[in-house]
Amino acid sequence: MSETVLQAGVDIAGLSFDPVTVSEPLMWLVLVAFLGSVAVAQYDERLARPVGTVGWVVFAAYWLVLAPHFILIQKSVVEGLGSVVAVPLSLYTAYLLWNGRESLLVLTRAIGIMGVIYVPFLTIGPLRQAIIEVVTDQVAFLMTVIGYDPMVVDGLSHNGIEITSKQYPYENTFWFDGNERPITYTIILACTGIGSISIFAGGILAVKAPWRRKLRVLAVAVGIIYVLNLLRNLGIALAFGLQKAQFFPETVMALFGLSDAQLVSYYIVDRMLAQFGSVIVLVGLTWVLMRELPELTVIVEDLLFLVTGTEYDLGTAFEKDQTEPGSPTPGDD
């Protein structure tokens, strides 16, 4: 067995600070401000606007700090571009909310709820370990179903070789014996799908609609995202571990600044195919869910306005779908 191990996503770009560590206090400030605006809105929505505005300004700072992490360390086109775009969009949201666009309080409430769901997994070790180990076990099971059986090792070391961060001292790493060196693929919190699940849960729970219908839509969204995420991890792990996507290696290495050709499969399947594909799937899922929960349109309309500057009326179209013959109406709940 080789003395070195190839582990994707752990190369550091020489930053003088850790963006993730610096962003943590901002994350808590954002959560406090957004949840504070939700609490204040119960009494007076006019007072909730300035509280929410402060939250959006801090949210812009949060993404500004995280941008180097996604661009230089993760080398993710989707997440890097998203974090950069999120800075002006957050500031623009703060401006609109301050100047009276009260519909943005629903989006503010959605992100606050999202934080309530996601932050515990981020900050509570046993909870994070539980979801990571469950996803790892289920991906391992899927591998055995299709005829593959790589070792699953802990995230500290294997045979004395350190392979990933010490914040994951449990079995969450797939070990492939490659031709040049062992290759490992580690399931971390970002690989569990809890981020996407919390985003949809925040939006669904934030809108005003009958609880029965919201919980039904939430169950569908969580189920779809969870299953697709398992398949995504399965594809990335096998493509990288077995080196099945070594396409245009010189071009990919130049594009992402890689020094090891064995990383090409990982960057093609994860950073390009999986991440762009996830965006397309989540947009499609949003469209499907709006047909079942038209109240979600208020959030989507505000997001479209922030991006395009044009007002859209999606609610009329989806409410029409809900009242066609044979379709349930909001009153049925």
Would you please indicate which residues are annotated as catalytic (active-site) residues?
191, 232
**Do residues 43 and 21 touch, judged by C-beta distance below 8 A?**
no
Q: Among candidates 292, 319, 118, which has minimal Cα distance to 215?
A: 292
Other CB atoms within a 10 A radius of the CB of residue 129 amount to 17
Question: How does DSSP classify residue 258?
Answer: -
* H helix runs in the chain, sequence order: 19-41, 45-68, 77-98, 104-123, 125-145, 194-206, 211-241, 249-256, 264-266, 275-292, 297-308, 314-322
Other CB atoms within a 10 A radius of the CB of residue 22 amount to 15
What separation in angstroms does the CA of 37 have from each of 51, 78, 97, 159, 193? 5, 30, 12, 51, 27
Can you tell me which residue has the tokens 């914040």?
167
Joined together, the tokens standing for residue 157 give: 């070391």
Burial of 268 (0-12, 13-18, 19+ CB in 10 A): buried
